[in-house]
Amino acid sequence: DIQMTQSPSTLSASVGDRVTITCRASQSIGSWLAWYQLKPGKAPKVLIYKASTLESGVPSRFSGSGSGTEFTLTISSLHPDDFASYYCQHYNNYWPFGQGTKVEIK
Amino acid sequence: EVQLVESGGGLVQPGGSLRLSCAASGFTFSLYNMHWVRQAPGKGLEWVSYISNSDTVYYADSVKGRFTISRDDAKNSLYLQMNSLRAEDTAVYYCARSIGWLDPWGQGTLVTVSS
């Protein structure tokens, strides 16, 4: 089974900071990777798919990169609305998630 | 508007059963594969189950043999029958449409397994 390892588990940052979250796959997954944002009481939302394609309507401060086994989600300048949890997920060989990253206010 | 709305959650005793439903609207439900995903309190997302538009199903090892996913295309609905429930099944359960990745998701329904 493919395992997804995400880091860090918690990230403390300030509005305006550049934030990077890393996701590693236990074997090569090509570009079959999505990133999701979770907020309490709300439906999870896809931000990025195919590792680097920005979902329609998602602000351009979000970007994704990587292929094979190493991937990153970057928020170029943190907005107040971005304090949330983020998850990576592989979606071509079952659907494993990373452990999640909570972005909290510093 | 594409929308998914889960229902059927609640409090159930260990060993009990519960059936979750997910009502789909705004798209041709019969054409799409669907998922159930859960998040236990204080934990991360866990993929639970998948059903294709031709009824091929897959389950996470943690629920295999206890949970059954099904769909009724005439009612635009997805279901999760959960039997032999355990405390560790306590979670918010989300349904999601599969387009490769998962999009959209419902807002979830809370299942609490406790005596």
Task: Report the alpha-carbon distance of residue B90 to residue A15 in Å, rounded.
Answer: 34
- Residue that is written with structure tokens 């609207």 in the block: B25
Report pLDDT for B108.
Answer: 97
With CB atoms and an 8 Å threshold, state whether B102 touches A100: no
Question: What is the residue type of B80?
Answer: L
What value does the mean pLDDT take over residues A9-25? 97
Report pLDDT for B68.
Answer: 98
Q: What is the pLDDT of residues A45-62, one digit of tens each?
A: 999 999 999 999 999 999
Inter-chain Cβ pairs, chain A and chain B, closer than 8 A: 60
Minimum distance, in Å, between the CA of residue A24 and any CA atom of chain B = 16
Cβ contacts of A46 on chain B, cutoff 8 Å: 101-104
Half-sphere exposure of B58 (CA within 13 A, CB side): 13
Report pLDDT for A93.
Answer: 81
Question: What is the residue type of B23?
Answer: A
Q: What is the pLDDT of residues A80-90, one digit of tens each?
A: 999 999 999 99
Task: Report the alpha-carbon distance of residue B35 to residue B58 in Å, rounded.
Answer: 9
* Among candidate residues A47, A44, A103, A43, the one with its CA nearest the CA of residue A78: A103
Q: Which residues sit opposite A48 in a β-bridge? A: A35, A54
Q: How far does Cα A50 stand from its chain's mean position? A: 12
CB B14 within 8 A of CB A66: no
Number of neighbouring beta carbons within 10 Å of residue A57:
7
Q: What is the pLDDT of residues B5-20, one digit of tens each?
A: 999 999 999 999 999 9
What value does the mean pLDDT take over residues B74-85? 98
Report pLDDT for B100.
Answer: 94
In angstroms, what is the C-alpha Rg of chain A? Answer: 13
CB B91 within 8 A of CB B39: yes
Report pLDDT for B91.
Answer: 98
B47 touches chain A (CB under 8 A): yes
Q: Is the pLDDT assigned to residue B63 strictly greater than 90? A: yes
- What average pLDDT does the structure give for chain B? 98
Report pLDDT for A90.
Answer: 97
Report pLDDT for B70.
Answer: 98
Report pLDDT for B19.
Answer: 98
A24 touches chain B (CB under 8 A): no
